Every structure is written in C-alpha cells, then in structure tokens.
Structure 1
Amino acid sequence: MSFPDPYDEDAPPPALGTVVDEGRGSLPYALIHGESLVACASWALGDAGVTLVDYSTTWAGIRDGQEPYVLHDALCPMTPATFLSACVARAVDTGSVVVGCSIGPAGRVVTSPIVLPASVVAALSELPTYDFELLVQQLSERFPLEYAESPAVGRRVVSVPDLAALEAESTP
C-alpha cells in the first residue's frame, strides 16, 4: 500500500471514502485475481489517497471531516486508483458531485465512484441511500453534477460471468 506525500503538490486532495457493499448480495465477496472484490476496491481507494471509513462512522463524523466523500462500489473492483483520484480532484476543483459512468449500447450507466465535494457533504443531513442510481438521481435534484467516463476495467459486474470477463480483461 502506498501513501501520498503530504508535501507533494501532485498528491491528490485529502478525502474520506467508503467501499459500498450494502445491498449487493454476496458478489462483493467473490474473488478476482485471488482477492475479494471488496478488498480490491479498498486497495484502489487507499492507493488513490482516500482515507477509508467504515459503516460505523456516523454521517456527523464524516461531515466533521470537512473533506470530500468518495463512495466506491465494491462491484467495480478494478476501477483504477488514478481514475478515483482524478474524480476527487475534479469534485474539489468544480464543487460538483462527480459520478463515474460507462457508456454503452443502453446509454450511460452509473459505475464508480460518486464523489461528494465537502460542500455537498456539509449540506446533507445524512446520506440518503447506497443505491448508486437512486443516489445520483436524488443528488442531481439539489446539486451540480458531472459525469466522468470510467475506463473499461472500471465497469460494474453483476454476475459471475461478468466477473470472469473482467478478470480476463484485467490480467496483467
């Protein structure tokens, strides 16, 4: 695991984040490259310079941190740390909620991450849901929102065959 140098001007802005597995069944605990999807997603957040918080952290505690908050879906386990940190930087620069997405034949699909700038975190009394599609819809009604197209390996898996395809595509 690597940590950003706090004196490095190229270091990502500080942020808090959570890997979301709630409401996703058992798939987040399936293996890709010998590791659980949750572990891979957690390592990516750490490598992006995001400080991980767990579900026991209250929303008041997250607000008190006065930092952006990153929601990373465990079902997008191979999302590159560089993409995650770029989304954090974009949210900080613009003050907009930044939403990772993929573009396919069915149109735009929310993937990961969802980055809430500190001003949005401060304005929310709580996080309304961990359902990414619903959360984006609710946030878009109150806050400026930007989409960022994620790399192909950042896509969401919804089944074991999807997971096998992602593993084959992301083999080093």
Structure 2
Amino acid sequence: MTLRDVFQAISAQPALLFMLLSAIPTGAFLTNKWSGETAEQIWKWRYVYAVLVYLACIPGIFAVTLNIYLFLFERQSVWDMNLVVQVFPILTMIATLTLIRRKIPFDYVPGFGKLSGFMTLIAALIGVLWLIDRTRIYAVSYIPFVYLLIGFVTLLVLIRFAWSRLF
C-alpha cells in the first residue's frame, strides 16, 4: 500500500476523518470550559492540553509539509488539492492552537518547544532541498561539502531565530 492509496482511501470516506479531526478542537473547547478559571485549576489540565496540541499538530504539520512538497517539488496545481487530506488538518491545527492559546500560554504546555523545534527542522530541510533542487548542486558541484553544511546550519539557526521572534 502506498501513501497515494492511503489518501485515496481516506478521501473515499471523508466523514470519518472529518469526525476524528473535529473532535480535537471540540476537545480543546470542552477542556477550556472544564479547566476552571484560576491558574491552579488550569495548571492541573496542562497535560490534557499537551495531548490536544500533539493530536492537532502531528497531522497539521504533516499536511503543511505535504502541501509544500506537492507545490514546490511536484508542481501540483491548487485546483487539484485534496481538501480532506491537505487542508482540513491545517484548519484543525489552527483552530485547536487558537482555542488553547486563549486559556494557557504555550510555554506552560509540556513539549510544545519540541514541536516548534521539529517544525523549524522540517522548514530548514525543505528549504535546503528546494535550494538544491533549483540550483542543481547535486549534479555538478565545485562547492566543498563543508560549505554546504555551514550553509544548512546557518539556515537552520536563522529559521529558528525567526520562528522564536514570530511566536
């Protein structure tokens, strides 16, 4: 079974994915209602928020990465987007993070820093792969590998710095 087969199977039954992904922001909304108002009460619910963040961000990050890959490398048209697989997980992630952010700062959610670091790594890797794809460095190169490695590390640091300033 290929990834394309999985996406076609999911697209054939979109209601199941819709229900599963809709449950995550609904869970965040209900957790916001039940977690209380004081900092002590909210603090007790931080691991529930962490689970909700991971449940929303893993498919959302995958969908963002898939979209970037399909548009940059495969040259997929916007008109050919699969809304169930490519758009709905991103909307779920945004809605869940927005609901959670209203109740608790992300600094207090356990493991959120690891997610942002993972997203930074993915962004840097895609950026480097896109640069290599566009410049055809892999075909013939007189650039020493050390310079490419230094460029990748610099790009990673710049993206990480920009990400931390953005959020």
TM-score (norm 2): 0.22
Higher strand share: 1
Question: Of the two, which has the highest radius of gyration?
Answer: 2
